[in-house]
Amino acid sequence: MNSYKNTQKINKWIVGIILAIGGIIAVMPFIWMILSAFKTNAEIVSMESGLIPKEWTVQNFIDLFQKMNFGVYLKNTLIITAFSFGGMFLNAMAGYGFAKYRFKGKKSLFIMILATMMIPGQVTMIPVYLILNKMGLTNTLAGIVLPGLVGAYGIFLFRQFMTTISDELLEAARLDGASELYIFTRIILPLSKPILAVQGILTFIAGWNSFMWPLIIANDEKYYTLSVGLNLLKGQYSNNFALQMAGSTFMVIPIIIIFLTFQKYILQGFNVSGLK
């Protein structure tokens, strides 16, 4: 028995060491990128450049806003991300409708929505562009935001989670005189915190990293996002690696902060049931 326990401990140590080494290898490029953002370009291209900057500087981040229009790109990205969160609640309402309401054609409509998940986004870009062009919404922030407000994947996630919420709980609320809006905002959404956190992170990442669609729909630089601006940065300052590292760091850090903040809700999403 003791030998079996010792073998288990040894195996756990071996697995832990392997995972730690793998984690370090995966994280090292990000650490190098972040630290390089505080170096001068001369230090980065130097053969003697180490991991830690010899002289720390924030000039690279200042140059992002002075030499490039990163202030404009940041504003556009924040606007798109904010509207994306509004779209997330539209997805939640649709998921709640499919999970808890009965109406004619419900199954057929839900299957049609799921079928759109099988269609690559690149296939629908041209039809959507033509529709927005007819509406006069090309080269506008509205044209960038509208197509991504509602998505089949978000509706599917919310619908699957909300089916686990007890129908008896909702019926008891209705018997107490609660309106449907009250039930959704005061009962459904609080119980759906784990899936809201997961979908919120996915929504933030999609909005923050939006590149292809803004590049297609916007002809004016004043509507570009951070991802498009970072691509322009690589083209205009291809030899300034410090500036590129600062731009990449500026893109990555918010995502890491958001993930670390809401990671506990993601873990809860695997175990929590609808009724607590």
Q: How far apart are CA 70 and CA 64, in angstroms?
A: 6
Neighbour tally for 129: CB within 10 Å: 17
Say if CB 87 and CB 149 are below 8 A apart. yes
Instruction: List the structure tokens of 23.
Output: 């984690």
What 8-state DSSP symbol labels residue 39?
S
Instruction: List the structure tokens of 186.
Output: 């005061």
**What pLDDT is attached to residue 267?**
64
Distance from chain centroid for Cα 225: 15
**What pLDDT is attached to residue 268?**
62
Helices (H), the chain: 2-36, 41-45, 59-66, 70-100, 106-115, 121-134, 141-145, 152-162, 167-175, 180-183, 189-191, 193-208, 212-217, 226-236, 241-269
Nearest to 244, CA basis, from 25, 120, 93, 60 = 60
**pLDDT tens-place values along the chain, 276 residues long:** 566 667 778 888 888 899 999 988 988 988 989 998 999 888 888 867 777 888 888 999 999 888 888 989 999 999 999 999 989 999 999 999 999 998 898 999 999 998 888 888 788 888 899 999 999 888 999 999 998 888 888 899 899 889 988 889 899 989 888 898 899 999 999 888 888 888 888 888 888 988 888 988 988 888 999 999 888 888 888 788 889 999 999 998 888 888 777 777 666 655 544 444
Q: How far apart are CA 164 and CA 166, in angstroms?
A: 6
Nearest to 161, CA basis, from 243, 98, 80, 90 = 98
**What pLDDT is attached to residue 266?**
64
Q: How far apart are CA 232 and CA 251, in angstroms?
A: 14
**What pLDDT is attached to residue 82?**
92
